[in-house]
Structure 1
Amino acid sequence: MGGETTISGLKPVARQSTEAMVTEHLRDFILSGEIAPGARLTEIALAEQLGVARSTLRMSLHRLAGEGMVTLVPYTGWHVAALTAEDIWEIWTLRGSLESLASRLAAARPDPEVHHRLETFFTALETACARGSLREMIEADVALHRGIVEAAGHRRLAAQYRVVEAQVRLFVSTSNSFVATGPDDIIAQHAPLIAALRARAPEEAARAAWEHDETEGRRLTAWLAAHPGTGPGTGPGTP
Structure 2
Amino acid sequence: MKKSLVINKRSLDDQAADLLRQDIINGDLTPGTRLVETTLAKEYDLSRGTIRTALHSLGNEGLVTQVPYAGWSVTKLESQDIWELYTLRSTFEGMAAKLAAENIDENGVEKLTSAYQDLLNLCEGDDLKAITYADLKLHKTIVELSNHKRLAHQYRLIENQFLVYITAANRVFDPKQVGVSHQDLVDAICNGEGTRAEAEAVKNITGFEEELDF
Bin of the TM-score, shorter chain as denominator length: 0.7 to 0.9
Query: 2:48 & 2:104 partners in 1: Cα distance?
Result: 52
**Alignment-derived partner of residue 132 in structure 1:** 126
Work out which of the two has the higher radius of gyration on C-alpha atoms and give 1 or 2.
Answer: 1
> CA separation of 1:42/1:127 partners in 2, compared to 1, >3 Å: closer, same or farther?
farther
Alignment TM-score, normalising by the size of structure 1: 0.79
- Matched residue, 2:197: 205
1:88 CA drift (Å)? 0.9
Q: Is the 8 A contact 2:120 2:176 kept in 1?
A: no
| 1:137-173 Cα shifts (integer Å, max 9, x gaps) | 1111111111110011111111121222122112112
Q: Which residue matches 1:38?
A: 32
Secondary structure of the residue aligned to 1:204 is helix
Deviation at 1:127, TM superposition (A): 2.2
Q: Which of these residues, 45, 50, 55, is aligned with residue 61 of structure 1?
A: 55
C-alpha RMSD of the superposition: 1.9
Which residues of structure 1 form unaligned runs of 5+? Answer: 1-13, 225-229, 231-239
Q: CA deviation at 1:69?
A: 0.4
Matches within 5 A, 1:23-34: 23-34=17-28
User: Of 169, 183, 194, which aligns to 2:175?
Assistant: 183
Distance 1:122 1:43, change over 3 A: same
Number of aligned residue pairs: give it: 207
List aligned pairs for 1:95-106, cutoff 5 A.
95-106=89-100
Q: Percent identity?
A: 34
Confirm or deny that 1:115 pairs with 2:109. yes
Which protein, 1 or 2, shows the higher relative CO under an 8 Å CA cutoff with sep ≥ 6? 1
| Contact 1:20–1:60 under 8 Å retained in 2 | yes
Deviation at 1:67, TM superposition (A): 0.6
1:94 corresponds in structure 2 to 88
| Alignment match, 1:192 | 184
After TM superposition, the structure 1 stretch with the greater mean CA deviation from structure 2, 34-43 or 92-101, is 34-43
Q: Which residue of 2 aligns with 1:3?
A: none
Q: Give deviations 1:153-209, integer Å, cap 9, x for gaps.
A: 1111111212221221121122223xx232023123323212322332111110011
Distance 1:40 1:127 in 2: 37
Matched, 1:161 2:155: yes
- Alignment partner, residue 145 of structure 1: 139
Tell me, yes or no, if the aligned pair for 1:106 and 1:197 is still in contact at 8 Å: yes
Could you tell me whether the CA contact under 8 Å between 1:93 and 1:213 is conserved in 2? no
Q: Which runs of 4+ in 1 moved over 4 A?
A: none
**Residue type at the aligned position of 1:154:** H
Cα offset, 1:110, TM superposition: 3.9
Question: 2:73 is matched with which residue?
Answer: 79
Q: Distance in 2 between matches of 1:84 and 1:183?
A: 25
- CA shift, 1:76, in A, is 4.2
Structure 2, gaps ≥5 residues long: 1-6
Q: Distance in 1 between matches of 2:181 and 2:36?
A: 36
The 3-state SS of whatever aligns with 1:37 is: coil
Query: Does 2:37 correspond to 1:22?
Result: no
Q: Which one has a larger percent helix, Structure 1 or Structure 2?
A: 2
**1:173 aligned partner:** 167
